[in-house]
Structure 1
Amino acid sequence: MPDLPHKHGVIVRLANGVLFATLHVPATRNALAPEVVAALADAVAQAEADPQVRALVLRGAGGIFSAGGNVGNFQARLQAGARADDPVAARNRQFGDFMQRLAALPVPVVAAVEGAAMGGGMGLASAADIVLATRDARFALSETTLGIIAAQIAPFVVQRLGAVATRRLGLTGERVGGQAAVAIGLVDQLAEDSAGLDALIAEWLTRIGRCGPHANRVFKTLVGRCGQEPVAPLLDEASLLFAQCMRREGAEGVAAFREKRDASWTARFDADTVRAAQAVA
């Protein structure tokens, strides 16, 4: 499977139409330093631009998803002092730009969480469409325990969990384990361990692989507009999108259904393929 350029602690591989982006910064427990976020943004741009990409999988190497923001960088930014063009605010807002692009990515995003998903790491998971985790995973909005706030990830956590649960987590810094994360809607399904997580990722990617790649892109974009635009004109446009999809992939999909066969776009995954795509050495 081909590797895309590997830089700044993110390993990116393309396998069977799925882009795997694996955080690999062991010294900081996969913290989201600016250069790491920039590398993740490059992976998102690749998935946006390449029509052959059918999904993006985010995972952390070494049994840790992400410890969140790089606290070491926080101190350096504070030394710059406050001014009208506040560098602390500017850097924070850049992360928000990335989060918006990730959430709006028109292909399914799968977050596979082991170990810690703290602060910004929990934000990454919240922006995904499907969140899978090991039973011993731990999530927290830990920023307030440092006297700061979960600023740029807040809208995405609220969208995933609702305001009540987000307030509870953010106002207490509570750490939530895998089972509790399922109960509040943060995690969709649990695996017992890392090997089980590989198998679970393969299972969900196989489900995605049954869907028309173009139809998935159109549907996710349409859902993102629901609740943001007046219903009647959105439905007018949706009818045209439906007709376009029918003439594009729909003919093959309907034929495959009638002939009791797989559609031409069908892709299947197994745990070995997933494991290889996320290997760090």
Structure 2
Amino acid sequence: MVARLGLSQARRLALSGATIGGHQALEIGLAHQLVEDAEMLEETLEKQLQSVRACAPGALAATKQLLLASAQVSSDEDLNQLLDRGAAVFSDAIQGCEGLEGARAFLEKELRSGNADVDTTNTADCQPRRDCPAHRAHGARRGLPHRRNLQRCRP
């Protein structure tokens, strides 16, 4: 709570036992959003959960680790190391199974909309892999077109 609110606000709330309303919680950064009623809360929560579920699990985990690590950065050297680590993690993710699955999903959407610039003659399957989070979560999609330079997941 201290990291989020600052020592002064956290101390005031913790030591006084003060209660605050939703508007004040939003104002001081304790809440991200304010909704009118329980129904709107359920709708807002479901939208947020859908957004999270749409993300690749491995990418989410890596992002969480990088964000937590960023709180420990205390020097330019630490920051440079974290940026290098983030670039490596991003590169691995985009070239890995989840990245390929994301690219395939994007191409499938573009193909349906008629905006895709794809090679539809190469519809080789992306074979399921037990060690690939994207395949565990969603299963391999079969028969989707690949961009000419898009590599398929390798067993």
The alignment status of 1:251 with 2:100, answered yes or no, reads yes
Q: Distance in 2 between matches of 1:212 and 1:166?
A: 34
Which secondary structure does the structure 2 equivalent of 1:214 belong to? helix
Q: Counterpart of 2:58?
A: 214
Q: Distance in 1 between matches of 2:84 and 2:36?
A: 45
Q: Counterpart of 1:237?
A: 85
What whole-Å deviation, never above 9, does each CA across 1:24-66 have from its counterpart, x for those lacking one? Answer: xxxxxxxxxxxxxxxxxxxxxxxxxxxxxxxxxxxxxxxxxxx
**Which protein is richer in helix relative to its size?**
2
Q: Counterpart of 1:186?
A: 30
Q: Distance in 1 between matches of 2:36 and 2:52?
A: 22
Distance apart, 1:172 and its partner CA: 2.6
**Which protein is richer in strand relative to its size?**
1
**Pairing partner for 1:172 from 6, 9, 16:** 16
The amino acid of 1:199's aligned partner reads: E
Q: Distance in 2 between matches of 1:222 and 1:184?
A: 25
Which secondary structure does the structure 2 equivalent of 1:260 belong to? helix
Alignment of 1:43-82 (within 5 A): none
User: Runs of 5+ in structure 1 lacking a partner?
Assistant: 1-156, 267-281
TM-score normalized with structure 1 length: 0.35
Alignment of 1:220-231 (within 5 A): 220-229=64-73, 230-231=78-79
Q: Counterpart of 2:45?
A: 201
Higher radius of gyration, 1 or 2: 2
Distance apart, 1:197 and its partner CA: 2.1
Count residues in correspondence: 109
TM-score normalized with structure 2 length: 0.60
The amino acid of 1:226's aligned partner reads: S
The amino acid of 2:106's aligned partner reads: F
Q: Distance in 2 between matches of 1:210 and 1:225?
A: 24
